[in-house]
Amino acid sequence: MNRFLTLCLATGFALCVAILMSSSLRGNPGLLGPKAACYPEVVQVAASQIIADPDDQEIAIQAARLFINTGRRIGDASLVKSGLSALQPALNSRPDARPLILAAVGKQYLHDFDGALELLGQAETLQPRNPTLLLTRANILVVQGHTLKARPECRGLAKAGAFDLALICAATTDMLSPDADAAYAKLSRYMELKPVMEPALRGYAHSVLAEIAMYHDWTDLAAGHFVQAIKADPASIRSAALYADFLISRSEYEAALKALQGKPPTDAVLVRRAIVCSQLKKFGCLLRSRRTLQAHLLAEKKIGSFAHAREEARYLLDVEGKPSEAVERARLNWTLQREFEDADILLRAGRAAGDIAAEQMVKSWVAENGLSIPALSVELGLHPHASAETIPGRGPAL
């Protein structure tokens, strides 16, 4: 019996063909595009499995899940788009909540929020209490600034039995509200009970607590929760990026650089690394971060994605010192998402560029939504050009 037949009997014919074809992706990128050879072997094999058996929707769904999750983890919008392409046959066939929810997660990453919400609405008719559906929709609504609309999703998580997620979701919706202290206290007390949770979820809960504390200037509490978040889930890019922001705001640049160490070069990581390296005058580090970030942004523009306009605005303001260009990108980003970071960069870029209208957009958002955000340094009626010391990476301290 030859090696080929032995391999096929051991692995199954479709997988056998996939394994043998994976190396051919280097010359035939197909579904993965021109960067196929740069992706992990497991991603290349999954793409080959689709080629080997294009009619098997289960293979396509599993491959799409891998593409989307990997793309989100490494900050690659093209790979996420490949995942959406792989899902298309399943989306066009029998009703199935799984591909609908997975596609919504992919569209959320690409900031096609309306498209994601439409898919979630379709999935809701099939699985109305699916926790991933409810949490994804809540997150999208929060990102869009619709925190009141997100709260029913949090209650839905509780009804579905996902009590951990429900508490975290509720704290997220109240993060920038006058009720933030109560939301913080409720989630903090729950975490003190040391509930049985997956490490990633435990880390996420502590990162939410750290965010609330950071935005309300409870610095000691924020520092403690960041440490716990990273201890629970060391691989979390979200926790590392938020912790770096916290340290940058305190001018602890060496510590911020350490917090980003070893993290995949996503746009969120790269822009913070560039800011820190600029402040530390580590020009080799700055040059590497700048080149990689610029390449990422150019690649995203080529596929029509502006998912990371916020990171680009921050780079233009805090690294390149180009406030007029920064405020333009910050305005574009504001049409997509409205969280603390989005308000912060629009406010700072507007002030630096002398764009009073941009600053007023943030002030109106705070007033109209009854928000309470001490760390944003927004005081309605305060003259925007009052004398202030500029904190690198955060802007004027009022």
Q: What contacts 22, CB < 8 A, 6 or more positions away?
A: 41, 44, 45, 47, 48
pLDDT of residue 377: 65
In a domain, 58, yes or no: yes
Using the 8-state DSSP alphabet, how is residue 39 labeled? S
Q: 35 in a domain, yes or no?
A: yes
Determine, yes or no, domain membership for 78.
yes
Assess if residue 218 is contained within a domain: no
How far is 99 from 91, CA to CA, in rounded Å? 6
Domain count of the fold of the chain: 2
| Residue where one domain finishes, among candidates 93, 113, 128 | 128
Q: Distance between CA 105 and CA 240 in Å, rounded?
A: 22
pLDDT at 12 over 50: no
CATH number at residue 72: 1.25.40
Domain annotation covers residue 16: yes
How many other CB atoms are found less than 10 A from the CB of residue 44? Answer: 23
Q: In this predicted structure, what is the pLDDT of residue 284?
A: 96
391 in a domain, yes or no? Answer: yes
Q: What is the C-alpha separation between 47 and 30, in angstroms, rounded?
A: 8
In a domain, 169, yes or no: no
Per-residue pLDDT reduced to its tens digit, 144-203: 999 999 999 999 999 999 999 999 999 999 999 999 999 999 999 999 998 889 999 999
Question: For the whole prediction, is pTM greater than 0.85?
Answer: no
Q: What is the pLDDT of residues 297-312, one digit of tens each?
A: 888 777 777 778 999 9
Within-domain flag for 26: yes
Buried b (16+ CB within 10 A) or exposed e, 203-234: bbbbbbbbbbbbbbebeebbbebbebbbebbe
Cβ(18)–Cβ(52) below 8 Å: yes
Last residue of a domain, one of 89, 107, 128: 128
Phi and psi torsions of 396, nearest 5°: -60, 135
- Which of 215-223's residues contact partners 24+ apart within 8 Å by CB, and which partners? 215/175, 215/176, 215/180, 215/340, 215/373, 215/374, 215/375, 215/376, 216/180, 216/181, 216/184, 216/372, 216/373, 216/374, 216/375, 217/374, 217/375, 219/250, 222/246
Among 209, 262, 112, 243, residue whose Cα is nearest residue 120: 112
pLDDT in tens, 44-55: 999 989 988 888
Structural domain for 350, as ranges: 321-398
Domain boundary among 71, 99, 128: 128
d(CA 304, CA 390): 34
Tell me which DSSP letter residue 389 carries: E
In this predicted structure, the answer to whether residue 390 has a pLDDT above a threshold of 80 is no
| 75-131 confidence digits (pLDDT tens) | 788 899 999 999 999 999 888 999 999 999 999 998 999 999 999 999 999 999 999
